[in-house]
Amino acid sequence: MDPRRYSRVIDPKVRQVGFCPRSGQVQNQSGPTGPSTSPPVSDISPSSNSLSPVMIPPPRHPSDAASRAVNVPAAATTPLRPRRPSFDDPNNNSSSTEQLVVSSYNPDESVLGTSPPFSGIGDDRDGDAESEFSDNSVNWIRQNDSGRFPLSLAPDGRFDSAAAKEKQSKKPQVGSRKERGGGQTAEVRNDLPSESKPLKEKTSKAARRALQEAQRAVKAAAKAAGGNKSKAASLSAHEQTDKAVKLPLQRKDDGPVTSSAAVSERRGGERPPEKDRKKDAPAPRMQFDDKNRVEKAKKRSVVKQTEARNRVELFRHLPQYEHGTQLPDLESKFFQLDPMHPSIYKVGLQYLAGDIRGGNARCVAMLQAFSEAIKDYSTPPEKTLTRDLTAKVNNFVSFLIECRPLSISMGNAIRFLKSRIAKLPITLSEAEAKSSLCSDIERFINEKIVIAEKVIVEHAVTKIQDGDVLLTYGSSAVVEMVILHAHKLGKQFRVVIVDSRPRFEGQALLRKLVKIGVSCTYTHINAVSYIMREVTRVFLGAASVFSNGTVYSRVGTACVAMVAHAFHVPVLVCCEAYKFHERVLLDSICSNELGDPDAISKVPGRMDINSLHDGTNKENLQHLNLMYDATPPDYISMIVTEYGMIPTTSVPVIVREYGREHLLI
Q: Closest distance between other proteins and the C-beta of residue 617, in Å?
A: 4
* Nearer to other proteins among residue 88 and residue 534 (C-beta): 534
* Nearer to other proteins among residue 584 and residue 664 (C-beta): 584
Q: How far apart are CA 88 and CA 86, in angstroms?
A: 5
Number of CB atoms found within 10 A of residue 85's CB: 11
Q: How far apart are CA 144 and CA 58, in angstroms?
A: 9
Burial of 494 (0-12, 13-18, 19+ CB in 10 A): middle
Q: Closest distance between other proteins and the C-beta of residue 317, in Å?
A: 14
Q: Which residues bind other proteins (CB under 8 A)?
A: 312-314, 499-502, 507, 510-511, 514-515, 517-531, 533, 555-556, 558-559, 562-563, 566, 587-589, 592, 600-601, 603, 605-606, 609, 612-613, 615, 617, 620-626, 629-630, 632
Contact criterion met (CB below 8 Å) for 107 and 78: yes
* Nearer to other proteins among residue 25 and residue 648 (C-beta): 648
Contact criterion met (CB below 8 Å) for 172 and 283: yes
∠ CA 655-658-659, rounded to 5°? 55
* Nearer to other proteins among residue 199 and residue 558 (C-beta): 558
Q: Closest distance between other proteins and the C-beta of residue 251, in Å?
A: 50
* Nearer to other proteins among residue 66 and residue 555 (C-beta): 555
* Nearer to other proteins among residue 5 and residue 565 (C-beta): 565
Return the DSSP state at 190: T
Return the DSSP state at 626: B
Burial of 154 (0-12, 13-18, 19+ CB in 10 A): buried
Contact criterion met (CB below 8 Å) for 280 and 418: no
* Nearer to other proteins among residue 223 and residue 613 (C-beta): 613
Q: Closest distance between other proteins and the C-beta of residue 571, in Å?
A: 14
* Nearer to other proteins among residue 60 and residue 613 (C-beta): 613
Contact criterion met (CB below 8 Å) for 112 and 141: yes
Contact criterion met (CB below 8 Å) for 417 and 441: yes
HSE-CB for 582 with a 13 A CA cutoff? 17
Q: Closest distance between other proteins and the C-beta of residue 287, in Å?
A: 18
Q: Closest distance between other proteins and the C-beta of residue 159, in Å?
A: 41
Q: Closest distance between other proteins and the C-beta of residue 282, in Å?
A: 21
* Nearer to other proteins among residue 222 and residue 314 (C-beta): 314
Contact criterion met (CB below 8 Å) for 83 and 22: yes
Q: Closest distance between other proteins and the C-beta of residue 645, in Å?
A: 25
Q: Closest distance between other proteins and the C-beta of residue 627, in Å?
A: 9
Parallel, antiparallel or unpaired: strands 537-541 and 544-546: unpaired
Q: Closest distance between other proteins and the C-beta of residue 580, in Å?
A: 21
* Long-range contacts of 271-280, Cβ-Cβ distance < 8 Å, separation of 24 or more: 271/140, 272/60, 272/61, 272/139, 272/140, 272/143, 272/144, 274/136, 274/139, 274/140, 274/143, 275/136, 275/137, 275/139, 275/140, 278/136, 278/171, 279/171, 279/172, 279/175, 280/175, 280/582
* Nearer to other proteins among residue 199 and residue 510 (C-beta): 510
* Nearer to other proteins among residue 504 and residue 658 (C-beta): 504
Contact criterion met (CB below 8 Å) for 247 and 407: no
* Nearer to other proteins among residue 277 and residue 357 (C-beta): 357
Contact criterion met (CB below 8 Å) for 497 and 521: yes
Q: Closest distance between other proteins and the C-beta of residue 565, in Å?
A: 9
Contact criterion met (CB below 8 Å) for 181 and 236: yes
Q: Closest distance between other proteins and the C-beta of residue 529, in Å?
A: 4
Contact criterion met (CB below 8 Å) for 509 and 480: yes
HSE-CB for 290 with a 13 A CA cutoff? 8
Helix ranges (DSSP H) in 462-613: 477-488, 506-515, 528-531, 557-566, 598-601, 607-610
Q: Closest distance between other proteins and the C-beta of residue 635, in Å?
A: 9
Q: Closest distance between other proteins and the C-beta of residue 576, in Å?
A: 23
Q: Closest distance between other proteins and the C-beta of residue 473, in Å?
A: 9
DSSP per-residue string spanning 423-486: T--TTS-HHHHHHHHHHHHHHHIIIIIIIHHHHHHHHHHTT--TTEEEEEES--HHHHHHHHHH
Q: How far apart are CA 239 and CA 255, in angstroms?
A: 11
* Nearer to other proteins among residue 250 and residue 475 (C-beta): 475
Contact criterion met (CB below 8 Å) for 13 and 107: no
Q: Closest distance between other proteins and the C-beta of residue 542, in Å?
A: 15
Number of CB atoms found within 10 A of residue 312's CB: 16
Parallel, antiparallel or unpaired: strands 580-581 and 628-631: unpaired
DSSP per-residue string spanning 263-328: HHHHGGGG--HHHHHHHHSPPPPP-TT-HHHHHHHHHH-SS-PPBPSS--GGGTTS--B-TTSSHH
Q: How far apart are CA 347 and CA 403, in angstroms?
A: 9
* Nearer to other proteins among residue 13 and residue 554 (C-beta): 554
* Nearer to other proteins among residue 11 and residue 499 (C-beta): 499
* Nearer to other proteins among residue 507 and residue 650 (C-beta): 507
Distance of alpha carbon 153 from the chain centroid: 34
